[in-house]
Amino acid sequence: DAGVIQSPRHEVTEMGQEVTLRCKPISGHNSLFWYRQTMMRGLELLIYFNNNVPIDDSGMPEDRFSAKMPNASFSTLKIQPSEPRDSAVYFCASSLRGGGARGAFFGQGTRLTVV
Amino acid sequence: GDSVTQMEGPVTLSEEAFLTINCTYTATGYPSLFWYVQYPGEGLQLLLKATKADDKGSNKGFEATYRKETTSFHLEKGSVQVSDSAVYFCALGFHSGGSNYKLTFGKGTLLTVNP
């Protein structure tokens, strides 16, 4: 199994630009999570999908952030417009039934730098 | 709400020393408990898990026992190696239905093992 695949691995963009992060979950998993990791705030859950439907988006910091999951094998996290404080590592994770019993499997992450 | 508290880092040890990283949790109901490890530049990897009280999870020489009476899941290893240097995250999750289908992470503990 290829695991959770994220792209790009690194992204450098200018303030005000739109950024799209991509994630392909493990085949057969029906839950998908987007996390953000920074030194100051640690690991934060941004949004969580179950069967392609957003279940909990209370962690999305503001309206500039949006996430979609058009099908079971693909999700995007978009930031528009981007700001320097959005610089972080963004992780996608997938699991069966939310990972509550079995845990979740993480991708390698996308390191975003907004200058 | 549900939460996980783990000991503040960083933790610095010499090779072959004994390791303990404390983790306690607060949750309604009976969660599953996990330890994840994050090596530099990588995503989180599931290290071990326990799904009910008194269960012991183990992997790669690491162990943790689910203690319901003390709401704890401390990570231990008898003899650490330089290659164990990483950030360790304690997490809880629910295997019941409804909106509790997600993982809650602690802030992470940085472990550095010196030769």
Q: What's the 3-state SS for chain A? A: CCCCEEECCEEEECCCCCEEEEEECCCCCCEEEEEEEECCCEEEEEEEEECCEEEECCCCCCCCEEEEEEECCEEEEEECCCCHHHCEEEEEEEECHHHCCCCCEECCCEEEEEC
Asked if the model's pLDDT at residue A95 lies above 60, the reply is yes
Q: Which amino acid is at A73?
A: S
Banded pLDDT at B90 (limits 50, 70, 90): very high
Q: How far is B17 from chain A (nearest CA, A)?
A: 27
What gap in Å lies between CA A52 and CA A48, rounded to an integer?
A: 9
Share of chain A above pLDDT 90, in %: 73
Nearest to A106 by CA among A43, A59, A57: A43
Q: How far is B16 from chain A (nearest CA, A)?
A: 29
Banded pLDDT at A102 (limits 50, 70, 90): confident
- The mean pLDDT value for A25-46 works out to 91
- The mean pLDDT value for A40-54 works out to 90
Q: How far is A104 from chain B (nearest CA, A)?
A: 7
**Interior angle at CA A10, CA A48 and CA A89, nearest 5:** 40
Per CB-CB distance under 8 Å, the chain B contacts of A102 are 32, 49
Q: Which of A33, A48, A101 shows the shortest C-beta gap to B51?
A: A101
Q: Which of A91, A101, A108 shows the shortest C-beta gap to B95?
A: A101
- What pLDDT is stored for residue A2 in this prediction? 79
- Structure tokens, A39: 């030194």
- What pLDDT is stored for residue B104 in this prediction? 85
- What pLDDT is stored for residue B8 in this prediction? 83
pLDDT tens per residue across span B29-86: 788 899 999 998 889 999 999 988 999 999 999 999 999 999 999 999 999 999 999 9
- What pLDDT is stored for residue B98 in this prediction? 54
**Interior angle at CA B51, CA A98 and CA B7, nearest 5:** 90
Per CB-CB distance under 8 Å, the chain A contacts of B34 are 103
What gap in Å lies between CA A88 and CA A110, rounded to an integer?
A: 8
- What pLDDT is stored for residue B71 in this prediction? 95
- The mean pLDDT value for A7-33 works out to 95
Asked if the model's pLDDT at residue B25 lies above 90, the reply is yes
Chain A contact residues (CB < 8 Å to B): 4, 31, 33, 42-43, 45, 48, 50, 55-56, 91, 93, 97-109
Nearest to B80 by CA among B63, B66, B56, B55: B63
- Of the listed ranges A2-6, A85-89, B76-80, the least confidently predicted one is A2-6
- What pLDDT is stored for residue A98 in this prediction? 61
Is there a contact between B93 and A100 (Cβ–Cβ < 8 Å)?
A: yes
What gap in Å lies between CA B84 and CA B15, rounded to an integer?
A: 9
The length of chain A in residues reads 115
- The mean pLDDT value for A35-57 works out to 90
Interface size A-B, in CB pairs within 8 Å, comes to: 76
- The mean pLDDT value for B91-105 works out to 69
Taking CB atoms and an 8 Å limit, are A104 and B96 in contact across chains?
no
- What pLDDT is stored for residue A101 in this prediction? 65
